[in-house]
Amino acid sequence: MKPRQKQLLYAGAALLIFVAWMFYTADGPQTTAVLAGTVRAATLLALGAMCGMIGERSGVVNIGIEGQFLMSAFVAFTIASMTGSLFLGTIAGVGMGLVMGWLLAAMAVGLKVDQIIAGTVLNISALGLTSFFYDRSAVGIGKYTNIDLGPLADLPLLGTVFFSRPPLTYLTMALLVLVHVALFRSVWGMRTRAIGEHPGAADTVGIDVLRLRYFNVTIAGGLAGLGGSYLALEAVGTFSRAMSGGRGFLALAVMIFGRRTPFGAYAAALFFGFTTALQNQFQLNNTFDIPPQFVGMLPFVVTIIVVAISGLMGSMRDPAALGQTYEKG
Amino acid sequence: MSEVLLAAHNVTKQFPGVLANDDVSVQLRPGRILALLGENGAGKSTLVNILFGMYRPDSGDVIIKNEVVDLHGPDDAISRGIGMVHQHFQLVPPMRVVENIVLGAEPSKRGLVDLEEARNRVVELSGRYGLEIDPDALVEDLPVGMQQRVEILKALYRDADVLILDEPTGVLTPQEADHLLSVLRELTATGLGIVFITHKLREVLAIADDIVVLRNGRVVGETKPAETNESGLAEMMVGRSVVLRVEKSVAQPGDVVLAVDELEVNDDRGQIAVDRLSFEVREGEILGVAGVEGNGQRELVEAITGLRHPMAGTMRIDGEEVTNGSAREISKKGVAHIPEDREKHGVVAVYSIAENSVLNRYHRSPFSIRGVLRRDVIERHAQEVVDEFDVRTPSIAVAASSLSGGNKQKLIVGREFSDDIKLLIAAQPTRGIDIGAIEFIHRRILEQRDKGAAVLLVSAELDEILGLSDRIAVLYDGKLMDVLDAQDADRERVGLLMAGITK
């Protein structure tokens, strides 16, 4: 990261903390609610962004995250209400994510289908299948409850926002660290970045490009699957039609804004999560006297502006082989 | 008896429509340099790809260290000590030198890359072989010669005892190339064997211990530098005697045709590629533009032919300003263009030879009248071009894609030369074509000069520049280093200028 960008980042973080503190002193409960909502929204986005970045670092665009979320949420909810176990539901959701990832890999890597089309296939079939099989009368078994992390949970503001959360949120934070280490320190990560930048170079040193892409896209699907489980079993506690609501696409924006790094993505996810939470609070309080649909647009309008601005800054560079199928030889 | 490091034994490989290798046998011993010589399409690349495990032979054996092996992929070859430096570097640009060297064979602890250890090994290796390099530099920041060094280190890191280099000097200045040759010579002192693929006769004679010449997929000769010379090798490559240097008379320069003044052109990424260039080309002379590829030649040619808009400066043809003219406007002024990339800009692959022969003039009389093409006139013209320029084809109705590279190039030259031309822009006019066609095209270019055309010849082949030009302009990093008269120019002097050294 260039020094100037670092400065900007620090300045932004400092400003956020200051604003949060200011509001906290003015109206504690509401600030806590907005910030807790921020983390809640950010968790899903971070999982989707990690799924996207593992694919893109390997050279495969995944616009099917939306479909992966939705399908996994459906399966997680269904299995959970069938077995009465949130844990089994979560596992089933992750499993479904892996299957969706494998499907994308089979199309985009194995059959060399255009990657955008392959992702679109996931999105459309997920919407169709879940709408068709969704059983309105199915009853949920509730959702994961908060776990306090000892004395940390008693910290003012931060305690409730970060250290008194349900389990999948903690798991996501752990995964952020794990994916970061894996991508930038491990042998797997080095090879993954190589096949996304210059698959030919990787091939000539004996790395099986197609196999690694297959593997990565499938595994990444598991992360989106966890996102689906999180959505159905931790964030909401039930399944409803098209409940992913475009957040799979928002996750892609988060990934790009976070420069395809886990921590960058989490920072971006918190930012977007904040706009979502803020929008909720605005609607709740009836802050603006305009139709709620317009207030609901806030996160998406901000997405467009932020992505456009960061694009204008010209600071992003895609992996060189992104979106290209690889032919040996 | 001495060990055979690497050998192909009666290797045959058939591709759809081509017999790429036909019963080929070569062998390499420790400490020796084997040069594989041949024209494009002679089967050199196929052979080394078989030796490196990229392709499997239809019949015949690959032998590594006296043992017949069955290679399933490059990793098989690598693990047996074969290293390859590809013509197009196989490096990951945004990664560090050390990461590129160890990629695929990373030292690791519990799944994490041990960068410390990797760096130590790279430093040790570069010290041992005298190949200095900054292990922490990003590959994309390195000059080409250094990137090649990374490739060599990559192979040595994997304990290669055979190095295969595919056209390694194509992207280097003459001095860099000489330096590479001496590095390779030193490497053989440690017992390494080297396979060196090239089409440059001079280099073969300078470096090889053994020379194998391939033509049409077969071995047509084996020799040693002491037993042959350039024309002997050329004859083996082509199968008949060839003239390596065309005779040319003294130029009779007339009026200025092309005047370029303070021209500034950007490349695709918006960086300055041509940096305030000024020069003139006169009637009846050839101005050669020398330089390592990627120093602004492409952008210069595209600007002059109207394919790219300059950012600043002016261009005049016959005194008339054409700075922002379209390609057609410029072509109308009597400018012929032999483009660098004949597949992309030279011919329309799916069009017939007849259609391709009028691409620059199909919209004008006599080839069309009021927007309707006149097939008979076009076909007559195409037949003339094919006959006069010796385009080898069964018919003018076949698609241009069916022609070989040399014949495509002759078709392009024929098309461009069939009008009266004032200015000829020839970019890499003989790249990748056989020696016979090279000789033919060189003679035609000289003919145009003698008829009074001004010629701007851009080429990465220094021999071509030195052989044809009356004056030589050297480009480095988009800037004009100097313009020399041909009689003052030699490899040494031009080579230094190509490296940006003015002394």
Q: What is the pLDDT of residues B447-483, one digit of tens each?
A: 999 999 999 999 988 889 999 999 999 999 999 999 9
Report A:154-183 residues touching B (Cβ under 8 A): 181
Tell me which of A198, A203, A207, A315 to substitute to probe the interface with B (most B C-beta atoms closer than 10 Å): A198
pLDDT reported for residue A1: 46
Q: CB-CB: which of A186, A189, A207 is closest to B104?
A: A207
3-state SS record for chain A: CCHHHHHHHHHHHHHHHHHHHHHHHHCHHHHHHHHHHHHHHHHHHHHHHHHHHHHHHCCCCCCCHHHHHHHHHHHHHHHHHHHCCHHHHHHHHHHHHHHHHHHHHHHHHHCCCCHHHHHHHHHHHHHHHHHHHCCCCCCCCCCCCCEECHHHHHCCCHHHHHCEECHHHHHHHHHHHHHHHHHHHEHHHHHHHHHHHCHHHHHHCCCCHHHHHHHHHHHHHHHHHHHHHHHHHHHHCCCCCCCCCCHHHHHHHHHHHCCCCHHHHHHHHHHHHHHHHHHHHHHHHCCCCCCHHHHHCHHHHHHHHHHHHHHHCCCCCCCCCCCCCCCCC
| Architecture of the structural domain at A27-312 | Orthogonal Bundle (1.10)
pTM score, two decimals?
A: 0.79
Residues B333 and B308 sit within 8 Å (Cβ to Cβ): no
Partners of residue A202 in chain B, C-beta under 8 Å: 92, 103-104
Q: Higher model confidence: residue B210 or residue A32?
A: B210
Give the percent of chain B with pLDDT over 90: 62
Q: Higher model confidence: residue A46 or residue A290?
A: A46
Q: Which residues contact B115 (CB under 8 A, 6 or more apart)?
A: B98, B99
**Distance to chain A for B100, nearest Cα, Å:** 9
pLDDT reported for residue B437: 83
ipTM of the complex: 0.84
Give the percent of chain B with pLDDT over 70: 99
pLDDT reported for residue B2: 65
Partners of residue A317 in chain B, C-beta under 8 Å: 94
Domain residue extents for chain A: 27-312
* B53, closest residue in chain A (CA to CA): A204
- Of the pLDDT bands very low, low, confident and very high (cuts 50, 70, 90), residue B68 is very high
Mean pLDDT confidence for A225-244: 93
A–B interface: beta-carbon pairs under 8 A: 73
Give the percent of chain A with pLDDT over 90: 53
Does the CB of A302 have a partner CB in chain B at under 8 Å?
Answer: no
Tell me which of B90, B139, B269 to substitute to probe the interface with A (most A C-beta atoms closer than 10 Å): B90
Task: Determine, for residues A190 and B93 on separate chains, whether the beta-carbon distance falls below 8 Å.
Answer: no
Mean pLDDT confidence for B188-207: 90
Q: Please give the torsion angle defined by the CA atoms of residues B122, B128, B129 and B130, in that order, rounded to the nearest 10 degrees.
A: 90
Task: Determine, for residues B104 and A202 on separate chains, whether the beta-carbon distance falls below 8 Å.
Answer: yes
Q: Which residues contact B397 (CB under 8 A, 6 or more apart)?
A: B352, B353, B354
Kindly report the backbone phi and psi dihedral angles of residue B385, in degrees, each rounded to the nearest multiple of 5, phi listed first: -60, -45
Domain residue extents for chain B: 6-238, 246-334+421-503, 341-419
Q: Which residues contact B371 (CB under 8 A, 6 or more apart)?
A: none
B136 vs B119: CA distance, rounded Å:
8
- Of the pLDDT bands very low, low, confident and very high (cuts 50, 70, 90), residue B436 is confident
Task: Determine, for residues A191 and B104 on separate chains, whether the beta-carbon distance falls below 8 Å.
Answer: yes
Does the CB of B108 have a partner CB in chain A at under 8 Å?
Answer: yes
Mean pLDDT confidence for B424-437: 87
- Of the pLDDT bands very low, low, confident and very high (cuts 50, 70, 90), residue B138 is very high
Residues B454 and B285 sit within 8 Å (Cβ to Cβ): yes
pLDDT reported for residue B18: 78
Task: Determine, for residues A206 and B74 on separate chains, whether the beta-carbon distance falls below 8 Å.
Answer: yes
Residue B329 pLDDT > 80, yes or no?
A: yes
- Of the pLDDT bands very low, low, confident and very high (cuts 50, 70, 90), residue B188 is very high
Does the CB of B270 have a partner CB in chain A at under 8 Å?
Answer: no
Provide the CATH topology of domain B6-238: Rossmann fold (3.40.50)
Burial code of A155-171, b = ≥16 C-beta within 10 A, e = fewer?
eebebbbbbbbbbbbeb
Place domain B246-334+421-503 in its CATH homologous superfamily: P-loop containing nucleotide triphosphate hydrolases (3.40.50.300)
Task: Determine, for residues A205 and B90 on separate chains, whether the beta-carbon distance falls below 8 Å.
Answer: yes
**Distance to chain A for B120, nearest Cα, Å:** 17
* A318, closest residue in chain B (CA to CA): B94
Q: Which two tokens stand for residue B258?
A: 């092309």
Q: Higher model confidence: residue A283 or residue B56?
A: B56
Residue B80 pLDDT > 90, yes or no?
A: yes
pLDDT reported for residue B351: 93
Tell me which of A178, A180, A204 to substitute to probe the interface with B (most B C-beta atoms closer than 10 Å): A204
Residue A158 pLDDT > 80, yes or no?
A: no
Does the CB of B271 have a partner CB in chain A at under 8 Å?
Answer: no
**Same fold across B6-238 and B246-334+421-503:** yes
Residue of B190, B188, B180 whose CA lies nearest to B198: B180
Partners of residue B74 in chain A, C-beta under 8 Å: 203-206
**Distance to chain B for A298, nearest Cα, Å:** 35
Task: Determine, for residues A194 and B84 on separate chains, whether the beta-carbon distance falls below 8 Å.
Answer: no
Residue A22 pLDDT > 70, yes or no?
A: no
Q: Higher model confidence: residue A71 or residue B53?
A: A71
- Of the pLDDT bands very low, low, confident and very high (cuts 50, 70, 90), residue B1 is very low
Report B:77-96 residues touching A (Cβ under 8 A): 78-79, 84, 86, 88-95
* B52, closest residue in chain A (CA to CA): A204
Q: CB-CB: which of A204, A317, A320 is closest to B90?
A: A204
Q: Higher model confidence: residue B243 or residue A58?
A: A58
B383 vs B503: CA distance, rounded Å:
53
- Of the pLDDT bands very low, low, confident and very high (cuts 50, 70, 90), residue A174 is very high
Does the CB of B165 have a partner CB in chain A at under 8 Å?
Answer: no
Mean pLDDT confidence for A147-175: 86
Mean pLDDT confidence for A36-63: 95
B10 vs B33: CA distance, rounded Å:
21
pLDDT reported for residue B448: 93
Task: Determine, for residues A187 and B106 on separate chains, whether the beta-carbon distance falls below 8 Å.
Answer: yes
